[in-house]
Amino acid sequence: MHDPALLMLCLVILAALLFDYINGFHDTANAIATCVSTRALSVKAAIVMAAILNFTGAMISTKVASTIGKGIVDKDNITQMVVLAGISGAIIWDLITWHYGLPSSSSHAIIGGIMGAVFAHAGIGALKWGGLKLIILALLISPIMGTVFGFAFMLLLYRIFRNCSPSGLNKKFRMLQVLSAAFMAFSHGTADAQKSMGVITMALLSYGCISTFAVPWEVMIACATAMAFGTAAGGWRIMKTVGRDFVKLQPVHGFCVETVSAGVILGASAFGMPTSTTHVITSAILGVGLSKRITAVNWKVAQRIVVAWVLTIPASALMAYLTYQVLNPLLAK
């Protein structure tokens, strides 16, 4: 017998895995743009390394998944249509920003998407504002930390190696940057794959496959694999914006950016706080650029990036709201 609810569950899972795949190639630049732009690694080698370590990082923890799955909306207002529309809104916005080479946040996109879908389904009162405030606060604070720590760490490195020649310094840090890029790719997996884990677990809970919110191991493997394949597909458009157009980087700068970013992301993930990998690494690049001089930053590119940041949550929420209005009459029959 035809089971519409089961069909919806399958659509949700496929959409969530597609989001993870898109997140992989959309955010590949976050992990490897700096090491490619400084020629520490070739594009192919960097992408393979990032794919493997994204998968590994995604299998480590589910704390962020729990925050996404339980912190935005009460389970009584979670339906398959809400989850499907929320993911669809995030996917649409991710593809738009990828097309224009803008490093927007997939974390913001999925949160905005769920918010827009819930609003379309049950109104603004269905949102859990206490949880949303904590999530949005984490997303706002993490770029500030990235900028401050990137600036301070770069000044510290300048002081420690002040007697080294620039060429000798960058030769040393070209090798170290491979390690920092690996650290960054691993941290990206711990943060970003868990958003889809949380969404799929929400859908399984709504369908009745599970009785409490706990991420099944099958979901962990599926999401980690989808992100790894997406990462392997690459993301050169955004990589160029982050790694070349924003601030011109040398290996020592890339090492600083990746180390600081990975530290901020892993620290937040340990507490279940969803950070934006895009925002953290871009803000760390800004901090490093400012440590050189204000004119080292391409402020026109910075303006485009900030516009994408500001628009992401409302834009993905609008996409999800409209998607719900279109799909609900079609699939709810």
pLDDT in tens, 147-174: 899 999 999 988 888 888 777 777 778 7
Local structure of 81: helix, strand or coil: helix
Phi, psi of 216 (to 5 degrees): -65, 150
Helix/strand/coil percentages in the chain, nearest 5: 85, 0, 15
* pLDDT tens-digit series, residues 204-257: 887 888 878 788 888 888 988 888 888 777 655 555 555 455 556 778 888 888
3-state DSSP assignment of residue 128: coil
Is pLDDT at 186 greater than 50 in this prediction? yes
Q: How far apart are CA 231 and CA 133, in angstroms?
A: 30
- Could you write out the DSSP letters of every residue in 163-206? TS-HHHHHHHHHHHHHHHHHHHHHHHHHHHHHHHHHHHHHHHHH
Q: Of how many residues is the chain composed?
A: 333
Return the DSSP state at 126: G
pLDDT, tens digit, 9 for 90 and up, residues 249-287: 778 888 888 899 889 988 887 777 777 777 788 888 888
Predicted confidence at residue 116, as pLDDT, reads 92
pLDDT, tens only, 297-318: 667 766 776 777 778 889 999 9
Question: What's the pLDDT at 1?
Answer: 45
Quote the distance between the C-alpha of residue 51 and its chain's center.
Answer: 14
Q: What percent of the chain has pLDDT over 90?
A: 8
Rounded Cα gap, residues 37 and 34, in angstroms: 5
**pLDDT given at position 207:** 81
Contact of 278 with 262, CB cutoff 8 Å = no
Contact, 58 vs 195, CB < 8 A? Answer: no
The pTM for the full model equals: 0.76
pLDDT at 203 over 70: yes
